[in-house]
Amino acid sequence: MRWLVAGGVAAAVQMIAFVTVAGLTRTGYDPNRNWISQLSLGPGGWLNDVNLATCGVWLVLCAAGLRRLRAARLILVCGVCLIAIALLRTDPGIGYPPEVAPARTFIGTAHQLVSVLLAFSGIAAAALLGRAIRRERTGLAVAAVMTVSFVAGSVLVLLDAGGVLPGAPSGLLERVALFTGFAWIGVVSAVLMVRPPPASDSPGPEPMVRSSL
């Protein structure tokens, strides 16, 4: 059922396109500062909920199509996390929505915890996906970019929220991490739609060579 793998391509294209357009057109929203999940707040926020949930479904389908690969379970986790994030809205803060006081709720905290699980599952999946198309170094490079961007963005958003570094570009760094990860999933999925994935990408024993006497 190779067509299921196309879910990875659909998720990448939809997420990057929607977030870019919504971030640039939403009144009062600063894509350099504000995080993607904050697009679920304010007027039209339900559109981002639909975007997150739909991309989650695409990743679940992709994971089903790649079920023989080690990365499949991690992609499945990412898909489920996106669906959960769509249901658990983030709290207002760092200037968005405008004129709304920052808040700290149980649902918002749950959202943050799921987001961390999404980030590190995506980083691990990126590293493993390289094996599926024999581009291990590329997969590791993608994972490294995602890790540095996500960690740096997380630190900056805390400094921003605490008033230490107002307006810090944490939203931009989050986009670097998320877009890089989704783009990599999309590229690998596109390759595997043309070239079937291996039966297993787990490292196996070295083949035995019979010596001639």
Tens digit of each residue's pLDDT (9 = 90 or more) over 75-107? 999 999 999 999 999 999 999 999 899 999 999
Structure tokens at 91: 């709290």
| Mean pLDDT, residues 2-22 | 96
Smallest Cα–Cα separation from 12: which of 197, 209, 188, 144? 188
Single-letter residue type at 10:
A
| Predicted TM-score of the model (pTM) | 0.90
Alpha carbon distance 204, 34 (integer Å): 45
The β-bridge partners of 93 are 96
User: Is 62 a residue whose pLDDT tops 90?
Assistant: yes
Residues with Cβ within 8 Å of residue 173, at least 6 apart in sequence: 149, 150, 152, 153, 156
96-136: pLDDT as tens digits: 999 899 999 999 999 999 999 999 999 999 999 999 999 99
Q: What is the pLDDT of residue 7?
A: 97
Judge contact between 65 and 5, C-beta under 8 A. Answer: yes
Alpha carbon distance 6, 65 (integer Å): 8
